[in-house]
Every structure is written in C-alpha cells, then in structure tokens.
Structure 1
Amino acid sequence: MRELTEIRSLLDRLEEVEADALETQDLDFKEWPAEPRQAIKLAVDIAICMANGGGGSVVLGVRDRVVGRAKAILGVPPETEIHQLKRDIYERTAPKLTPDIHELHVLEGTGRLLVMQVHGGLSPYTNTAGAGTVRKGNACVPLTGDLREKLMVERGDADFTAAIVPEPAQSLISAAAMERLRDQARQEQAPTDLLRKSDLDLLGAIGVLRDGQLTRAGLLIAGQAEAIGRHLPNFGWTHERMKSATAYDNRVDGRDENALALPLALAAIEARINADNPISTIEHGLYHFEYRAYPTIALREALLNALTHLDLRLASPVLVKQYPRRLEITNPGGLVGGITSANILHHPPLARNLQLVQALARLRLVNRSNLGIGRMFEAMLVEGKEPPLIIDEESAVRVVFKRQETARPFREFIAEEGKTGRTLDVDHLLVLRYLLSHPEIDTSTAAELCQRRDAEMRDILDEMVQIFDYLERGGAGRGSWWRMKPALHRRLEGLGHAERDQRIDWDVAKTRVLNMLKQRARRGEPGLTNAGIREVTAYDRQQVNRLIHELEAEGVRMQGHGRGSCYTYIGRTDNEQG
C-alpha cells in the first residue's frame, strides 16, 4: 500500500509526466465519472482488479494522458460519501471486499481525491455477476479460466504437488535420492535428528507421506526416475552447452541420466555447469580464496527455484542453457501472485507448489521467508559482479547470469568491512556497484534499482552517508543526489592516486557543470564559485580551473573578483559560434 505522503509526492510529478507513467502493479489512477452509476461501477471494477492482483492503492479523481496538475487533477465531487461507496463495493463483490478509503485534499479540481487501499487475500474476486479482472503490471486484464485457476493455485486451493500417488510408498522411493537429499540438507545445517530418521520417517516428518502413501511432492523429492516418469510425465530437465544462439555441441536430459528426483537433478545439473565454471584464486594475507565465475550459492538458489516453482501441468522441462559468456535457467510457469521481476526482491513469498516448498524448507534447502532471491543477488554482488537478470515470460521464468571474473578489490573490501562488524545487505551492494560505473544516483533511480519505495530508499542512502561513510549527498529535497566518496571509489576500482584522482569522468563533469550554469542563468541566479564546482565534481581547485578554461568555448565566463567571483554562463558570441 502507498502512504498518503508518498501519493502527495507523486501528484507533484504530474507537472512533468502523465499519470499513466506513474502507475505500477500496486498503484493506479482513475478519473471519476460524472454519472453516479458509472462511478460506482468503476470503483467496484478497480477494487476487484487490485484485490486479485495482490492488493494496492487507487487514486480516484485523476485524469490520464495529460501533463500538469491542473489538467490532470479533476477530483471527486463532494457529494460522493466515503461510507456509502464502501458499502456499494461490499454489496457488489464476491467474496466481499472492504477497502479502506481516505480523503486527500488538493487545490485543484473539486478539492478532494479519494485514495482507495485494496487488500489482497481470498482471490479470485468477482462482481455479483461472476465477472472480474486481475492486475498485471499497470493494466487490468479479464479474469479468464486459466487466470482463475492460477489464482487458486497461488492461494493453495489447487496445490498440484499435494495429491496422493496411488502406489505403496516403499516401491517408489530411490535410496540414492534419499542419501543425496541427506547430504544436501546436511550442508545447509538441517536438524541432525531429522536426517537420522529412516527414509519413510524422514518423508513423514517433512510432510510428504500421508497414510503410507507419497504425495507428488514426496515423489519429486525421493522418487525413482521410472516412477516420476509415469506419474509426473511433464517433469524433466535439460542442460545444453551452447556454441551460439541457435546451436549446441552437447546436450543431456534428466531422463537419460535417471536423475529426476530433485536431489539427484540438482547435483547432476550443478556438475554439468561446473565443468565449465572456472575457479579463480585470490590471495588475501596468508589465505588463498577460490571463487567460481558463477558462485555456488547463486547457482543453487536459482536451480532450486526453477525445480520447485515450475508449473508441473506444462509439458516443458527446466532448461539450462550454458553459453560461452552467460548462463540461462528457465522453468515452465510464470511468476505468481503479483510478483514481478521489478518487485521480486521484497515481495512476500508465494509458492505454486506449496507442499513441495514446505517440505524442502523443513530441510533448509529452500527458504520460506523469500530470502532465496536476495541470497542469489548477494552472492554475485559481494564478488563485484552484476546480479542476475530475472525475466517473466508469462508462461516461463528465465534467470540470466553473466559470466564474470571476481573483482578482487571489491571482494576484499566486503571481507574487511565484515571484520569490523559492518554487514552490507543487497541494497547497499546494489548502490555501490551502480556508483562504480555511474557518476551519481538519485532517489527514484536507487528505488527502482533496489525495488524499494522512495521513502525507504532515502533512509538507506542517508545511512550510507551518515553511518557507513560511503557516500556524499548533494542537492536538496527532490533534487538530492548521492555519489561515492572518491577515496572509496579508488579503493573499489583498485586504482592509486596517480591513476585516477576522482570518480566523475571529465566529459560528464563538463556537461553537468555547463547544464547547471545554464539553468541558473535562465533563472536569473548567480553562477557557481570555484568551491561550489569542487563540491559538484569532487575535483581540486586546479582541476576546476582547467575545466572552466575548456568551458569558455561554450560561453562560460568568470564574473566578479576575489571571494565574490563566480563562473556564469553568458552564451557564445557570434564569432565563437562561427
């Protein structure tokens, strides 16, 4: 849900963009119809749409496809009574919806907007005639039969993996799969007393054995390949070593390897990947540390996600394509429950195959608190590498890793910070890595990068200034920006003073200073002093003098004398333009 203060801030952005550009999965803007019955229908329809999409906020009274607050904010008539509107929505929805509705006072239009906070929950929701929509991205799409079934799966009413396999459990179990399962769970510090249990007792303890019979989840975890092939014919995996985008020189299928049970599949795929996943050694003091191009933790999290969150009703395998410079892991079935590639880092956890996920969570092989994606990101970022790219292709999810070498200065920095008790989380790591290749970052860019709200992101950035001492802040209010301290930037790049004295590239600095001087001249304000430009660029006095000398050709001149002097944009003369 969006706070009213955040919505007020977003309304200010209507001076620059249309309302449509601000809409997201959990935020919509709607113009209020003049005809009362149409207005009620709109409120009911958008409440159903947002609830089916996981919940969100709707700002009623804002017109789309226009720029400017005065044009966009038309408002809601004063006679529209909040209590009555809530009752209308309640009476016209099934299951019953009771959104929170708040009044937001504005200067434009009727002087009031309504902010409707819709909670997700017992989807699928429809109107009393049985029709409904669901939020996908920033649009409402019809709630078709397929989407209704998908919502029921997300709610746990149709867990495909919870069904019983109608054969004696003992005849289905693979001893090799059980031993591999114990090994993998032991690596994750699963409870020792759990792992010491007999096969059937262990499967019963993790919830996949019912009245002496395995569920499909249990079959996937511990079943013989032949039994999985009979009862779960759509399940499988394929690893292809690609020569190009259209050709491979080596291919293996899980069925051919008799490695379909999840513990065996995971081990087999990891071995295939690691055959071309080189190790680099970094010396740090008396120790030698080894790092793979694709970190083990990131690989395991991605593979377990693919093997447990796949849609077993689709006749498509988990597909691993290993190119010379990247790795792609694809599983059938798109993201569920309003999760998108733009919010997956912090979205509450949802599972398509709930019993399977719960069983593996008891063995600590997967995480029910949505920490798996964060661990995947962190494993890449702490080595100075780009995080994986997560792509929702509607009927499949694809995770892409770039093959990268470990950045020794960055890895050493993380290790040394850890020794001092400083633990950097994914937000900090994402910001630092961004600032290694960009001059600065603003709040909205950082919020999008870290999948946070603007208010949350400002707190994180300020923490990196005031507590961690990694960043410097410039500007004020909505115009604030942050940059990495030059000394830290040199350290993370592994460069000495002789190689690079500051972080901002010369051309970037020139462009930034020139644009600032032009804007100040346009507003009739004085220019910037040498000290002011040093603050903007992190350059020293002599470097600023050299920069200004080059900007003289663009119409920048010094005005005044002594401490009162400043550099001002006066424009280029006819001779200079010629």
Structure 2
Amino acid sequence: MRELTEVRALLARLDQVDADTLEAQDLDFKEWPADDRHAVRLAVDMAVCMANGGGGTVVLGVRDRVVGRAKAIVGVPDSAEPHQLKRDIYERTAPKLTPEVLELPVPEGTGRLLVMQVHGGLPPYTTTAGAGTVRRSKDCVPLTGDLRDRLMVERGESDVTAVAVPEPVEALLSAAAVERLRDLARQEQAPADLLRKTDLDLLGALDVLRDGRLTKAGLLIAGSATALARHLPNYGWTHERMKSATTYVDRADGRDGPGKGELALPLALQALEARINADNPITTVEHGLHHFEFRAYPTVALREALLNALCHLDLRLASPVLVKQYPRKLEISNPGGLVGGITPANILHHPPLARNPLLVHALSRLRLVNRSNLGVGRMFEAMLIEGKEPPLIIDEESAVRVVFKRQETSAPFREFIADEGKAGRVLDVDHMLVLRYLLGHAEIDTALAAELCQRREAEMRDILDEMAQDYGYLERGGVGRGTWWRLKPALHRRLEGRGNAERDQRIDADVAKTRVLNMLKQRHRRGERGLTNAEVRAVTGYTRQQVNRLIHELEAESVRLTGHGRGATYEYAGGEEPTQKKRTR
C-alpha cells in the first residue's frame, strides 16, 4: 500500500503523465461517479479487487487518462464521508472487508480526495451478490474458476505436497535420494544433529510425515522413481540442448525409466546441474597472486533457479520442469505462473509466497531454499557480482521462465566488488544494478532507477544519495524531478578496464553539440523550421532531459526555443539570413 506522502508525490507528477501511467499492482486511480450509489458500488468493487490481489491503495476522485493536474483531479463531493463508505464496503462484501478510508485535501476540484487502503487478507473475496474481481498488474479481471483456484493455492488450502501417500513409508523411499539430500544440506551448513538422524527421523523432523504416512512433499525429496511415477504422475524434468529455437541435438528426461533414479528432487538437481555444466565454460581471472575460476552461468544462480523451478512447480499440470540450453542462453521453466500478486516487476522485494508450502518448509529446514524470498536476489547477485546481466524472469501465466544470457565474467568489475568488500563496503543488488546500468548509459534518474531496482522512488533516492555521498561512486546533477546521477569518471574507467572515460564522455557530448548546431544552422539557411525535442533525441540518442541540457549549452551559440508544447522547436537565431530570403544584386 502507498503512504499519503507517496500519494501526494504521485499527484505532483500529473502535469507530466496521466494517472493511468502511475498505476500499478497495488495502486489505482478512479474518478468519483456523479451518482452516489454508483460511487459506493465502485468503491466496493475496487476493495474486493485489491483484497484479492494482495492489497493496495485506491485514490478516489482522479481521472486516470487526463494529463494536467488541474484537469485530472476532480475530487469527491462533501457527501462522500469516509466512515460511511467504510461501513458500506463492510456490509457489501463477503468475507467482510474493513479498509481504511482517509481524506486527502487538495487545491483542485472539490478540494478533497479519498484514499482507500485495502489490506490483503484471506481471499477469495466477493460482493454479497457473489461478484468478484482480482488485481492483475493494472487491471481488475473477473474472478473466474481458475483464478479462484489459484487464490486457494496461495492460501495453502490446496497444497498438493501436504497430502499423505497411502503406502508404507519404507516402500516409497530411495536411499540414494536421501543421501544426496544430506549432501546438499551439508554443503549449505544445515544443523549437523539434523543430518545425523536416521532416514525416518530425518523425514519426521522435516514435518513430511503425517500420522506415520509419507506426504507427497516427502516423496518429492526422498521418494523412489517408481513411487513418484505412481503418486505424482505429472512431476518430471527435461533437459534439451538446443541447436535452434525448434531443433535440439540432445535430450534427457527424468522419466527415462523407473530404474533411472534421477526423479527425486535432490537427484534431479544433481542430474540437471551436471548436464548444464557440460557446456558451461570456466573463465580464469587473475587477482593479485590468486587465480579465480568463474562459470558462464554461476553455480549459485544456477542452483537457485533450478531449486525454484523444482519446488514451485504446479503438480496439477501435466508438464515437466523444462531446461533449454541454447548456444548463447539458458532457459529454466516450471509449470504454473507466479502467485499472490508477485510479478516480474516486483519479485525482488515481494513478501514470499509458496505454491507448495510443505515442500518449501522441508527444504528450508535443510537450508536448501530460503523462506524470506532471498532466492531471486541471490540469483541476481551471483550474476551482477561478475559484471553480468541479471536473469530475465517471464510470467507466462501457465509457466514461469527464467532466462540467463551466456556472458563472460568482467574481471575489472569482479575485482572492484572484491576490493570494496575488503574495505568494508558490501554492495547489494540495488548498488550493482545501478553500477551496471551506468556502464552502458550516460546517466540515470530516480524514476528509472526505482523501476530497475523494483523500489519506490523515495527508497531509491536514498540509495542513490548513499552511492554519491557515502560511497563516492556517483556524481549528481539537476534539481528536483530533473535530478540525475552518473558514474564518476575514475570509477567508470576502472569498471570498464579501458581508457579515459571522462575524455570519451566529453568527446561524445562535444560531437552531439556540434552535430545538432550544424543541423540547425543548415536548416536555418534553407529557411526550414528547426528541430523538436523528439527529433533531437532521435539524432543524438539522448533522453529528453539530456536534450534540454544540451540546448541550454547551445544558447551561447544563438540557439533558442520557439513555440509551446510538443510543437515547440529549437531554432538557430544568429548568423546570416536564410538563403531564400537574400536579395540578389
């Protein structure tokens, strides 16, 4: 949910963008209907939608497709009373919803808005008439049967892995799977007393036994291939070595046969890692007297992605965990989309939710997965720390796909991170995302950095200030919403391991100024209009703010802005008259 201070900051942006652009999974703007009955119905519907989507903020009294604060903020009438609206929502929802409804004074419109803060609870929620929607990205979509089913999964009420298997435990187990499970847990420094337990005591300590029966969570982590095939027929894995998008040259399947023994999760992980690493080259990086080895796909990132796929798959879908290894990329996908309002745009910091809670609980006891949603962050960190692009996460609704680009380790970047750690500055994912972005771009502003790091702008501003003032990595320019940051030249040179970055940056800026000035002069001589901001952006590859600064520098060369709005142009106002206006002698 959004605090009132953040809502005020967002309202200030309505002179640049419409409210629809500002909306998100947890934020919506709605105009207050003229009919009070329709207004109450709208508030009830939005409360249901947000509650089913994990909670959020609805700002009532704002048109969402109008640019200009004065036009967009129409307000709510005096008859719209917060306490009564809260009561109306309570009476018209099932289960009962009790959102906070706060009044926000504004100078525009009627002078007041209502901000409805809806807490996520135990969905599915509906109106008392039985209607319901759920928040998906920026839309409220009908709460259909499959979405109701997904909400039940998110609440843990349909945890397939918690179901007990009606056979003797000993007949279901694979000794190889249990020993591999112990090995993996030992690598992650799981409690030694836990690993010393007998097989049955270990499974009991992991809570995967129910009344003396093995649950399907226990079957997944310690079951034999034949038992898994009988009781979890949809579970499996496939690895394909791809030649092209439609052709593979080699394939292995976790169901190659009941004697294969590579279907239980610990053995599946081992088999998949071995196949991927067969074409996962190692780069040696020298740092002082030491030689360090780094794989194209880092071991930590690879394991986190595979464990995520294996423990968050939807076991009701007849589809395997699928790994496609291309010459230049690696794709890991599992059946079942993201749950609980998690999206690729908020997954880094969203509270954790598990599709298979009991399975995740057991693996977390062994420290193989983290219940605090650190797994995705560890994937990002493992790639970024080597100067590589982070993985791309794609939600296809029926599946989640994680894509890694095959990249070489950047020795200068890796050495910098190591040296900073020795100096007591441990960089997290936010810092590294910003540094890596600025290696390929001249600058970054707060809004773009917030989107990149999946943070709110207030949080991101503090992080950027820290990188500039405390760490000394960045230079800051501009004021207010025009504030921007860029890498200090010395750090830019160090991270890229190349020549004088300050000189290169200066030369690039000089080339851009010269090119734009010459074009404006030539157009002036021909009697043609100048260039718009958009046209200068197309010529230089600059952002709008960069163009504004460039033109400001060209004012000394007689470049002026004429006109208003999108039709405004930059004109050369000095020198000789246009050719077509010269008089002939």
TM-score of the two chains, using structure 2 as the length reference: 0.89
SS state of the match for residue 275, structure 2? Answer: helix
Residues 23-172 of structure 1 correspond to what in structure 2 (within 5 A)? 23-172=23-172
Q: 1:149 offset after TM fit, Å?
A: 1.2
Cα distance change of structure 1 residues 577 and 202 upon mapping to structure 2, 3 Å threshold: farther
> Counterpart in 2 of 1:386?
389
Q: 1:512 offset after TM fit, Å?
A: 7.7
Q: Deviations over 1:511-568 (max 9, x none)?
A: 589999x9xxx9xxxxxxxxxxxxx99xxxxxxxxx99x97998559xxxxxxxxxx9
Comparing 202-211 with 378-387, greater Cα deviation is found at 202-211
> Counterpart in 2 of 1:504?
505
Alignment of 1:437 with 2:418, yes or no, is no
Query: Does the Cα contact within 8 Å between 1:556 and 1:570 map onto a contact in 2?
Result: yes
Q: Deviations over 1:129-178 (max 9, x none)?
A: 22110000000001111111110110111111100011111110000000
Residues 397-476 of structure 1 correspond to what in structure 2 (within 5 A)? 397-476=400-479
Q: Distance in 2 between matches of 1:272 and 1:218?
A: 25
Query: Does the Cα contact within 8 Å between 1:439 and 1:505 map onto a contact in 2?
Result: no
- One-letter amino acid of the counterpart of residue 487, structure 1: A
Query: Does the Cα contact within 8 Å between 2:413 and 2:495 map onto a contact in 1?
Result: yes
> Counterpart in 2 of 1:533?
none
> Counterpart in 2 of 1:321?
324
Query: Does the Cα contact within 8 Å between 2:322 and 2:334 map onto a contact in 1?
Result: yes
Q: Distance in 2 between matches of 1:354 and 1:572?
A: 74
Query: Does the Cα contact within 8 Å between 1:241 and 1:250 map onto a contact in 2?
Result: yes
- One-letter amino acid of the counterpart of residue 33, structure 1: P
Comparing 89-98 with 349-358, greater Cα deviation is found at 89-98
- One-letter amino acid of the counterpart of residue 407, structure 1: S
Q: Distance in 1 between matches of 2:352 and 2:64?
A: 33
Q: 1:226 offset after TM fit, Å?
A: 0.7
Q: 1:3 offset after TM fit, Å?
A: 1.5
Cα distance change of structure 1 residues 9 and 325 upon mapping to structure 2, 3 Å threshold: same
> Counterpart in 2 of 1:564?
none
Q: Give RMSD over aligned pairs.
A: 2.5
Q: Distance in 2 between matches of 1:17 and 1:150?
A: 34
How many pairs align?
Answer: 541
Query: Does the Cα contact within 8 Å between 1:49 and 1:135 map onto a contact in 2?
Result: yes
Q: 1:569 offset after TM fit, Å?
A: 6.9
Which residue, 492, 496, 514 being the options, matches 1:493? 496
Alignment of 1:20 with 2:3, yes or no, is no
> Counterpart in 1 of 2:246?
246
Q: Distance in 2 between matches of 1:509 and 1:130?
A: 65
Q: Distance in 2 between matches of 1:96 and 1:509?
A: 64
Q: Deviations over 1:231-279 (max 9, x none)?
A: 0000011000000111000000011143110000000000000000000
Q: Distance in 2 between matches of 1:86 and 1:569?
A: 60
SS state of the match for residue 331, structure 1? Answer: strand
Alignment of 1:348 with 2:347, yes or no, is no
Cα distance change of structure 1 residues 483 and 433 upon mapping to structure 2, 3 Å threshold: same
SS state of the match for residue 328, structure 1? Answer: strand
Q: Distance in 1 between matches of 2:484 and 2:166?
A: 62
SS state of the match for residue 473, structure 1? Answer: strand
- One-letter amino acid of the counterpart of residue 317, structure 2: L
Q: 1:63 offset after TM fit, Å?
A: 1.1
Query: Does the Cα contact within 8 Å between 2:513 and 2:554 map onto a contact in 1?
Result: no
Cα distance change of structure 1 residues 211 and 387 upon mapping to structure 2, 3 Å threshold: same
Query: Does the Cα contact within 8 Å between 1:439 and 1:503 map onto a contact in 2?
Result: no
> Counterpart in 2 of 1:541?
none
Cα distance change of structure 1 residues 571 and 83 upon mapping to structure 2, 3 Å threshold: farther
Cα distance change of structure 1 residues 289 and 382 upon mapping to structure 2, 3 Å threshold: same
Query: Does the Cα contact within 8 Å between 1:486 and 1:503 map onto a contact in 2?
Result: no
Query: Does the Cα contact within 8 Å between 1:106 and 1:113 map onto a contact in 2?
Result: yes
Comparing 77-86 with 501-510, greater Cα deviation is found at 501-510
Q: Distance in 1 between matches of 2:504 and 2:253?
A: 49
Comparing 61-70 with 338-347, greater Cα deviation is found at 61-70
Cα distance change of structure 1 residues 571 and 63 upon mapping to structure 2, 3 Å threshold: farther
Residues 134-283 of structure 1 correspond to what in structure 2 (within 5 A)? 134-256=134-256, 257-283=260-286
Q: 1:328 offset after TM fit, Å?
A: 0.2
* Residue identity (%): 76
Cα distance change of structure 1 residues 374 and 503 upon mapping to structure 2, 3 Å threshold: farther
Q: 1:8 offset after TM fit, Å?
A: 1.3
Q: Distance in 1 between matches of 2:262 and 2:476?
A: 54
> Counterpart in 2 of 1:290?
293
Q: 1:510 offset after TM fit, Å?
A: 5.4
Q: 1:78 offset after TM fit, Å?
A: 1.1
